Amino acid sequence: MSEASSARYPLTRELAETCLARARDPLPAEVIEIAKHSLLDWLGTLTSGWADPSVGMLEAEIRAEEAAPRATLLGSGARTSVRNAALVNGMASHVLDFDDVHLGSRVHPSVPLWSAILAIGERDGLPGQRALAAFVAGVEMQSRIALVMGEEHYKRGWHNTATFGMFGAALASATLLDLTPAQTQHALGIAATQSAGLRAAFGTMCKPLHAGHAAASGVLAASLAKRGFTSQTDMLECEAGFIELYASARDHDAIARALANAPDYQARTILFKYNASCYGTQGSIEASKLLREQLGARLDDIERIEIRVEPQYLSVCCIPSPTNGLEAKFSIAQMVALTLAGWSTVDAASYGPAALDDAQVGRLRRLVTITPNPQQPRASADVAIVLKDGTRLEQHINTSRPEQDLARQERNLSAKAGSLLGERLEAAQVDGIVKSVLGFEKVGNVGDFIARFAQALRKD
């Protein structure tokens, strides 16, 4: 069967048409700003993440293939195929778990999208304005799929950045390759049959690999569709299609209502991290920072630490005794202990042997109890410290709300990117890159921008 069934809501066609149109329409000024902020944040996390040994392993593997040099591995300046560049850049930008998030879809939006967009944009010499529009459209795609799939997909153990991110990367690539809506339906079908990524891999090198795989597979899906490669044109909604297999059958009238009521411009709700760990740990970390100020020198007086979070975080980021840095990023108890003990939640040393073996950190971690609270808003945390004399100190933090002051967000992200890029570049080089990204709609050729970026890194 190659045509959509009339008995089912034509979801694949609807999303292809809607999201392609989103890329072609003029964008609101604040949405452009957020897209640029996301690119800036992505570049910083990628550059810093390139030092991780797992990225070196993947780069060595793909360079051994001797692919045609069409796109740049941004952390090293080496050039490879568009797909391989998307793969490695995607992994590198997620390996620190310091990149942006979209809570509504449970997707890290930038890593599959910018990795695909910049690889194609570099090869084809596309302008920055088209890249920004493709990003916004890709966010729309992966967010709308999440909306119709509901929470069951994630609860089953799928990693949404891998599964939904692949659709976002395919749609963003389709916009840059000028696919028609019909071709885009095929691209989404090609993506659907490749979609994979398990939450069981959290805390291992495979989690960032998911992001790179989503980017590369999205590029492949759109590229094949442009060549005439076909798939089901209703792969999302057809019998035994993506929805039924990945989240069980859904009521198609409910899908229509969900899309009709979808918030406009999902990019408006992108959130950014300021601690290099799973987003489920962010509220507990921020609450612990405030509690540390209240505690002063009384760390030894702590009798217990009580934390309440959304129930699902107990299966996502609740590793009780992490044995390596990747596991530490998925341990609320470890991140709270690190914070209270005065360690940075950003520096690489905080995820190395010294922090993992630190006696004070270990003692504080063992004092933590984590309780699920079904009424707890997503990405919020209640943290209470009880001292030996009965004193109780409490903080509630909700990290689920997007920043409304975009000028303040720009300052914060410029500082974050400046710190990450500054690990390898001089201050003047960092300032030039930040300025270029914040004016990305004026970039005439993405390839020229990437060439300047890679040249700066080669001089480090």
Q: SS3 for 364-428, per residue? A: HHHCEEEEECCCCCCCEEEEEEEECCCCEEEEEEECCCCCCCHHHHHHHHHHHHHHHHCCCCCHH
Q: Are 108 and 99 in contact (CB under 8 A)?
A: yes
Let me know if 359 is exposed, middle or buried by CB neighbors in 10 A (0-12, 13-18, 19+): exposed
Domain map of the chain by residue range? 11-269, 279-398
Cα torsion angle, 107, 94, 84, 22, sign: positive
Fold held by 279-398: 60s Ribosomal Protein L30; Chain: A; (3.30.1330)
pLDDT of res. 64: 81
In the block, residue with structure tokens 């989404």:
188
Q: Are 317 and 330 in contact (CB under 8 A)?
A: yes
Indicate the pTM of the whole model.
0.92
The C-alpha angle 44, 123, 420, rounded to 5 degrees, equals 5
Tokens, residue 285 = 């970390």
Let me know if 289 is exposed, middle or buried by CB neighbors in 10 A (0-12, 13-18, 19+): middle
- Greatest CA separation found in the chain? 72
Indicate the CATH number for domain 11-269: 1.10.4100.10
Residues 287-321: tens digit of each pLDDT: 999 999 999 989 999 999 999 999 999 999 999 99
List the pLDDT tens digit at each of the 460 positions of the chain: 344 444 578 999 999 999 999 999 999 999 999 999 999 999 999 999 999 999 998 998 788 878 889 999 999 999 999 999 999 999 999 999 999 999 999 999 999 999 999 999 999 999 999 999 999 999 999 999 999 999 999 999 999 999 999 999 999 999 999 999 999 999 999 999 999 999 999 999 999 999 999 999 999 999 999 999 999 999 999 999 999 999 987 788 888 888 988 999 999 999 999 999 999 999 999 999 999 999 998 999 999 999 999 999 999 999 999 999 999 999 999 999 999 999 999 999 999 999 999 999 999 999 999 999 999 988 999 999 999 999 999 999 999 999 999 999 999 999 999 999 999 999 999 999 999 999 999 999 999 999 999 999 887 6
Query: For strand 380-387 and strand 302-309, is the pairing parallel, antiparallel, or unpaired?
Result: antiparallel
> For residues 3-12, b (16+ Cβ closer than 10 Å) or e, as one string?
ebeeebbbbb
pLDDT of res. 1: 38
Among residues 50, 48, 316, 49, which one has the least CA distance to residue 158?
316
Query: For strand 71-72 and strand 79-80, is the pairing parallel, antiparallel, or unpaired?
Result: antiparallel
pLDDT of res. 460: 64
Q: Collect all residues with Cβ–Cβ distance below 8 Å to 296 and sequence separation of at least 6.
A: none
Tokens, residue 310 = 């959304």
> For the chain, how far is it from start to end, CA to CA, in angstroms?
55
